[in-house]
Amino acid sequence: KQEVTQIPAALSVPEGENLVLNCSFTDSAIYNLQWFRQDPGKGLTSLLLIQSSQREQTSGRLNASLDKSSGRSTLYIAASQPGDSATYLCAPKGGRRALTFGSGTRLQVQP
């Protein structure tokens, strides 16, 4: 059974900092991995999808990397802004269709 761990659980940084969010998963047989953003009481916004054959994927100030063999993914956020404050979730997809979610990293960017 896939287990997903996200470190750190919470992070508070001043505006402008570059930061890295970590995700590890126990079953490396995945098809892809999605990173989501969740604002309090809101839905899940897909940020990036990185396929199992890819090492990196970029969208604007976001860069996700994937090391499938070691069961790790990182989300890099460049030049953080207060509007980036949210919970970030990673979710690998295995051979079945379901996503397995981590508990998330709660990010606070201080102005």
Partner 1 sequence: EPEVTQTPSHQVTQMGQEVILRCVPISNHLYFYWYRQILGQKVEFLVSFYNNEISEKSEIFDDQFSVERPDGSNFTLKIRSTKLEDSAMYFCASSLRTGEDQPQHFGDGTRLSIL
| Residue 31 DSSP class | S
Q: Is 60 in the site for partner 1 (CB under 8 A)?
A: no
Both tokens of 101, joined, read: 């979610």
Q: How far apart are CA 26 and CA 74, in angstroms?
A: 15
Environment class of residue 59 by beta-carbon count within 10 Å: exposed (0-12), middle (13-18) or buried (19+)? Answer: exposed
Q: How far is the CB of 25 from partner 1 (least distance, A)?
A: 13
Under the binding rule (CB under 8 A), the answer on residue 69 touching partner 1 is: no
Judged on CB neighbours under 10 Å (0-12, 13-18, 19+), 11 is middle
| Selected binder of partner 1 within 86, 89, 107, 109 (CB under 8 A) | 89
User: If binding is defined by CB under 8 A, does position 7 make contact with partner 1?
Assistant: no
Q: By CB under 8 A, is residue 59 in contact with partner 1?
A: no
Which token pair is 77?
């956020």
Choose, by CB under 8 A, the member of 10, 20, 79, 98 that binds partner 1: 98
For partner 1, the binding residues (CB under 8 A) are 31-32, 34, 36, 41-46, 49, 51-53, 89, 91, 93, 96-104
